[in-house]
Amino acid sequence: MNLIFSPGDIYDGRDVKKVMVEEIFSCASFKIWRVKGIFQNTYIVGKKRFFVVDPGVPSSAGLIKKFLEDTKLPFESLHTVIATHFHMDHIGGIKTLFSFCDPLVALHTQVRRYINHNEPQQFPPLSGFLKLWPLVPALEWHHMGVRDLSILFMPGSPYRPDKSKNALDFNVDVFLKDGARVPGFNKWQIIHTPGHSFDSLCVYNSEHGILFTGDTILTTYRGEPFANPFHVDESALKKSLERLTRLKVSFLLPGHSIPVKNPNMLRILNAFTHGNFNKFVSD
């Protein structure tokens, strides 16, 4: 497995572990930057106009602001914000973005059911987390955002897992269906990948084989991708993985831990099918 960055690499003369915004992909038409939060990734995609994948916790949104300031880009260049699913570590920074810009907010159409109070959001059971727990030391972590994440869990937060009515402190402008395009960025396709949650989605660019996987597929700090065992529907997740194996994927950009090059998508599916997670636990 080839990493885009490995833990010991140097980027711009600084240790990758300490870099909060790093450029991880560049071509003639766009670049991709990775914003590192407490343990989740936020991605900025574009050239003169940008979209954000998973704005994360509030501190991640603050780093997006600093990125735009440092690169002397106008705040209005941030056109669209997409969350790969409706969990607090992926949507908690959206409100903060509106303190300095006014992007479109795009979420999967399943979220409409949550915010209209038609059905409660289901969260993965504890049994799934117990499968994931041994892998936690293998994930790449950072101290940034601990306070933010704790605030999102506080009483009154609309993102707490025990909230059946997920009142929002921002408006959703676009509800995305499977096969839709990122608003304003037609080369980026939405792929509905239920499993970790029922509203989970991936964002795909077929020209360059770039896949943002959210929490559907994660990676260890050693660059080993694996299907997330923390899920609400194992059968749906397997079908989602089967669908992803049919894609050409040259760059896999997960919601947690490090991006990797040229992942073996069939190997990810097979490891999940056989419950083979032991090899991902730290040596």
For residue range 144-160, list pLDDT tens digits in order.
455 566 655 666 665 55
Judged by DSSP in three states, 124 sits in coil
What is the reported pLDDT for 35?
87
Q: Whole-angstrom Cα distance, residue 76 to residue 64?
A: 12
Average pLDDT over residues 209-238: 91
Query: What is the extent of the structural domain holding 102?
Result: 2-280
Instruction: Tell me the CATH number at 190.
Output: 3.60.15.10
- In 16-173, DSSP assigns E strands to 21-26, 31-36, 41-46, 50-53, 78-82, 104-108
The number of folded domains in the chain is 1
Residue type, 124: P
Helix (H) or strand (E) holding 227: strand 225-227
H helices present in 204-250, as ranges: 234-244
pTM for this structure? 0.86
Q: Whole-angstrom Cα distance, residue 33 to residue 229?
A: 27
Judged by DSSP in three states, 187 sits in strand
- Portion of the chain with pLDDT greater than 70, in percent: 74
Average pLDDT over residues 124-136: 69
Residue type, 88: M
What is the reported pLDDT for 239?
97
Question: What are the beta bridge partners of residue 10?
Answer: 15
